Structure 1
Amino acid sequence: MLDEKSIIYIVSDSIGETAEQVARAAAAQYGGIVSEIRRIPYVSEKQTIKEIISEAKAHNSIIVYTMVIPELKEYLENEAKDQGIIYVDIMGPVIDAISHITKAKPIYTPGIIRQLDEEYFKKVEAIEFAVKYDDGKDPRGIKKADVIILGVSRTSKTPLSMYLANKNLKVANIPLVPEVEPPKEIFDISSKKIFGLTSSPNKLNAIRQERLKALGLSFEANYANMDRILQELDYSEKIMKRIGCPVIDVTHKAIEETASIILRIMKGEN
């Protein structure tokens, strides 16, 4: 039975936060009778475990642990048993249960959930970046971006930006319009970060007509005029040549295909 001098040792081959939360929740049921909770994170050697067991034996202690590396987990259990110390495995039973129902083997990687959380927050940050710097809203994003997408209207800049953001890339996209000088920032950064998108005039004409239809506007609008489209494409080609960036024809490409090309180029692949 735990008394006022009782200590709970939290042992983990990762940060040990999960085990500590469980231990504190359990200890709270005893009205403060547990005097201390000691967390020992990132345990990677048997000698460390041996020292913890020796210290725990000198007190009225239990060991609560989240060890996923089988060799260290087994060593801790054997040492605790030999010294008559109560030990509680927080994750083991759940891991075993999942293995039983899935017939799969765990990867035994300490701290994997924290790594997954970091990936998640990187993705969220990249998506927020893509929204903030979509359609040339703020040219300051150009120098902060991992990728800059250029192109005339309806070349799928925004959906491509969002797709790449889901790959944890910070993307800014800039519309190219003959009457508007592009941000000077695109000429100040490496052309390796910039990708131009182009499409066939007929495809753009069809897409823009559909856009006008959706907005309840006339097909006669300059936006879908073929001469206007040719003018825009000619202007965008000159800008892209001036920058010296790769140009991708998206006429018959899905977003995934275009993104794949960009990722391959960024990795230095052909």
Structure 2
Amino acid sequence: MEKSMVTYVLSDSIGETAEEVAEAAISQFNSGNFEMRRFPYITEKEQVIEILEEAKEENSIILFTIVVEELRRFLIEKSHEYNIKAVDIMEPILNAIESVVAIKPKREPGLIRKLDENYFQKVAAVEFAVKYDDGKDARGIKKADIVLIGVSRTSKTPLSMYLAHKNMKVANIPLLPEVKAPKELYEINPKKIIGLTANPIKLNEIRQERLKSLGLNNTASYASMERILREIEYAEELMKDLGCQIIDVSNKAVEETAGVILELLRENNND
């Protein structure tokens, strides 16, 4: 007659890794007499004793992913005392990796979870940048961590996407003399607004190349020096009126400008 067994899954984090390993192992046994009980966020010795007291009354095994050394050793020691088989899932892998890279593991619970959260925050930030790119929706101004403003071809969109990969929610607003600036710009902290400007000669070159790439005549007013000077004058007056910080992006790579913006934000947060 087959014996039933209870698998106790213990973790100092959420316990998904240990549970998946347990399920994979159990699936190799053609039996329905297996029960699994998961105990996440085990951080105290008292929790370990309570679980062992329960497990000793049953035909049981313990699988665990506890990386905090003191608690891990305590569980192993007490499992022996209670005569319960305990399997450390993480330790053999950690030891193998350590022997190859010669670096000690951090032994911090939940790091994989933190990495996942960071990934999803980055995805959310990128989606935000796309949604509120080029003034598509002024409502993004109040939701953003950073609002970039400037005339056309001052790298607003590339900067928004670069900063999004740093988990920053960025909205960007194009400035045109004929279009009134969104009122929301006056309703947020000016320290969240970054004005982007550029040398008119540089802008002229960039805009002419842009028109060429679109198969358009580069003599269009969009690339005329008169038009560019008018736009820059309007934009810089607006930026001064807002009281925001201004960055000249003429000779800066996107990464360099982003670094300046992030440093300004750090300084603002420290004030």
Deviations along 1:49-71, whole A, 9 cap, x unmatched? 22222221121110010011111
Secondary structure of 1:143's partner? Answer: helix
Question: Which moves more between the two structures, 99-108 or 194-203?
Answer: 99-108
Question: What's the counterpart of residue 165 of structure 1?
Answer: 164
The answer to whether the 8 Å contact 1:13/1:68 transfers is yes
How far the C-alpha of 1:233 sits from its partner, in A, is: 0.2
Structure 1 pair 53/142, CA: closer, same or farther in 2 (3 Å)?
same
Q: Distance in 2 between matches of 1:78 and 1:65?
A: 14
Give the residue type in structure 2 aligned to 1:3: K
Secondary structure of 1:142's partner? Answer: helix
Q: Distance in 1 between matches of 2:58 and 2:247?
A: 69
Give the residue type in structure 1 aligned to 2:85: I
Question: What's the counterpart of residue 143 of structure 1?
Answer: 142
Secondary structure of 1:267's partner? Answer: helix
How far the C-alpha of 1:19 sits from its partner, in A, is: 0.9
Which portions of structure 1, spanning 4 or more consecutive aligned residues, are displaced by more than 4 angstroms? none
How far the C-alpha of 1:202 sits from its partner, in A, is: 0.6
Secondary structure of 1:253's partner? Answer: coil
Structure 1 pair 231/2, CA: closer, same or farther in 2 (3 Å)?
farther
Question: What's the counterpart of residue 32 of structure 2?
Answer: 32
Question: What's the counterpart of residue 88 of structure 1?
Answer: 87
How far the C-alpha of 1:2 sits from its partner, in A, is: 6.8
Q: Distance in 2 between matches of 1:191 and 1:31?
A: 66
Question: Counterparts of 1:188-227 in structure 2 under 5 Å?
Answer: 188-227=187-226
How many corresponding residue pairs? 268
Deviations along 1:142-200, whole A, 9 cap, x unmatched? 11111100000110001111111011111000000111112121112111111100000
How far the C-alpha of 1:88 sits from its partner, in A, is: 1.4
Q: Distance in 1 between matches of 2:65 and 2:172?
A: 45
The answer to whether the 8 Å contact 1:2/1:60 transfers is no
Segments of structure 2 that go 5 or more residues without pairing to the other structure are none
Q: Distance in 2 between matches of 1:210 and 1:31?
A: 70
Question: What's the counterpart of residue 121 of structure 2?
Answer: 122
Q: Distance in 2 between matches of 1:128 and 1:208?
A: 27
Q: Distance in 2 between matches of 1:114 and 1:81?
A: 30
Provide the TM-score with structure 2 as the length reference: 0.94
Deviations along 1:183-231, whole A, 9 cap, x unmatched? 1211121111111000001110111111112112222111110011000
Question: What's the counterpart of residue 77 of structure 2?
Answer: 78
Question: What's the counterpart of residue 243 of structure 2?
Answer: 244
Segments of structure 1 that go 5 or more residues without pairing to the other structure are none
Secondary structure of 2:257's partner? Answer: helix
